């Protein structure tokens, strides 16, 4: 549908850029993005349709990550947020670099207790780490009330008073439990590692506002732009594989009934 490296805009508020994010990020303006949520290749030999080899030497992989992370930080607005998915053993190595250019907020975990235990000699993998950072010292936005969970003890005197003062519930814990998106799920596309929409929704709601610009430089099946569009954000998704860009275009075009809000 798209030729390699061809840029496509499906509408002015939802950009699909089909190309290498290391080059494409360089074309974006400084301080223009409110929120970045991204889930890069983890260097585990995953097959992404022949466009990217997911088995670099560890030091080359980490250098490559720092190259595009530096660009992510440049394009992020002051107070903007970055949510970075990876296996913990990769994110641990990226932290010192991120600590030197951003403000650390939280190490979070996506727990998916649905993998079948394959190895007789190791524990079964059931987590991704999600690093949450902001640019500068103060968050531009953290919409606690939009992601709040019901209080466990709503009849407690102190909780009653918080509710009376407008609190919608407690701020979620930093471990999120959602199953992996499998073929049986309605949201599943033909991408090998699609993230759950409900998980992404938490970060979009917490760290952006309607009309804000949200970026995912490794868009895959465009889960981040899809959820962000649903919540009336503007989006940029960058993806190397034209077939995944086609999936993204189709997915984004399913959201049609948003009133004008930009």
Ligand X SMILES: C[S@@+](CC[C@H](N)C(=O)[O-])C[C@H]1O[C@@H](n2cnc3c(N)ncnc32)[C@H](O)[C@@H]1O
- DSSP-H helix ranges across 142-256: 144-147, 157-164, 197-207, 223-230, 242-253
List 7, 8, 10, 20, residue binding ligand X (CB under 6 A): 20
Query: How many residues bind to ligand X according to rule CB under 6 A?
Result: 22
Is residue 218 a contact residue for ligand X (CB under 6 A)? yes
List 41, 79, 225, 237, residue binding ligand X (CB under 6 A): 41
Binding segment for ligand X among 4-12, 33-41, 116-124, 154-162 (CB under 6 A)? 33-41
Residues 84-123 that bind ligand X (CB under 6 A): none
Nearest Cα residue to 229 out of 256, 194, 190: 256
Q: Which residue has tokens 């303006």? A: 29
Checking DSSP bridges between strand 33-38 and strand 213-216, what pairing results, if any? parallel
Residues 175-214 that bind ligand X (CB under 6 A): 191, 193-195
- Residue 16: CB atoms within 10 A of its CB come to 24
Nearest Cα residue to 224 out of 242, 257, 202, 241: 202
**Residues paired with residue 149 on neighbouring β-strands, in sequence order:** 170
Shortest distance, position 262 Cβ to ligand X, whole Å: 24
Shortest distance, position 113 Cβ to ligand X, whole Å: 19
Backbone angles phi, psi at 98, to 5 degrees: -65, -40
Q: Which two tokens stand for residue 216?
A: 């995912």
Is residue 79 a contact residue for ligand X (CB under 6 A)? no
Give the residue with the Cβ less far from ligand X, 84 or 195: 195
Is residue 36 a contact residue for ligand X (CB under 6 A)? no
Which residues contact ligand X (rule: CB under 6 A)? 20-22, 39-41, 48, 51-52, 191, 193-195, 218, 220-221, 223, 238-241, 244
């Amino acid at each position: 549908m798209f030729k390699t490296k061809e840029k496509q805009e499906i509408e002015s508020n939802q950009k699909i850029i089909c190309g290498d994010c290391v080059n494409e990020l360089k074309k974006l303006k400084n301080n223009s993005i409110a929120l970045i949520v991204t889930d890069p290749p983890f260097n585990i030999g995953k097959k992404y349709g022949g466009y990217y080899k997911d088995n670099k030497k560890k030091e080359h992989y980490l250098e490559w990550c720092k190259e595009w992370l530096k660009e992510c930080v440049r394009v992020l607005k002051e107070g903007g947020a970055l949510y970075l998915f990876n296996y913990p053993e990769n994110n641990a190595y990226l932290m010192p670099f991120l600590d030197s250019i951003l403000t650390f907020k939280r190490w979070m975990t996506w727990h998916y207790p649905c993998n079948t235990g394959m190895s007789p000699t190791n524990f079964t993998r059931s987590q991704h780490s999600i690093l949450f950072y902001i640019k500068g010292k103060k968050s531009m936005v953290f919409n606690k009330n939009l992601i709040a969970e019901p209080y466990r003890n709503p009849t407690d005197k102190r909780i009653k008073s918080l509710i009376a003062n407008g609190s919608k519930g407690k701020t979620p814990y930093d471990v999120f439990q959602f199953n992996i998106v499998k073929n049986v799920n309605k949201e599943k596309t033909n991408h090998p590692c699609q993230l759950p929409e409900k998980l992404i929704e938490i970060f979009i709601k917490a760290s952006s506002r309607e009309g804000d610009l949200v970026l995912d430089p490794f868009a895959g099946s465009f889960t981040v732009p899809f959820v962000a569009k649903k919540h009336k954000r503007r989006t940029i998704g960058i993806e190397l594989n034209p077939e995944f860009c086609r999936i993204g275009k189709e997915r984004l075009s399913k959201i049609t009934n948003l009133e004008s809000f930009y």
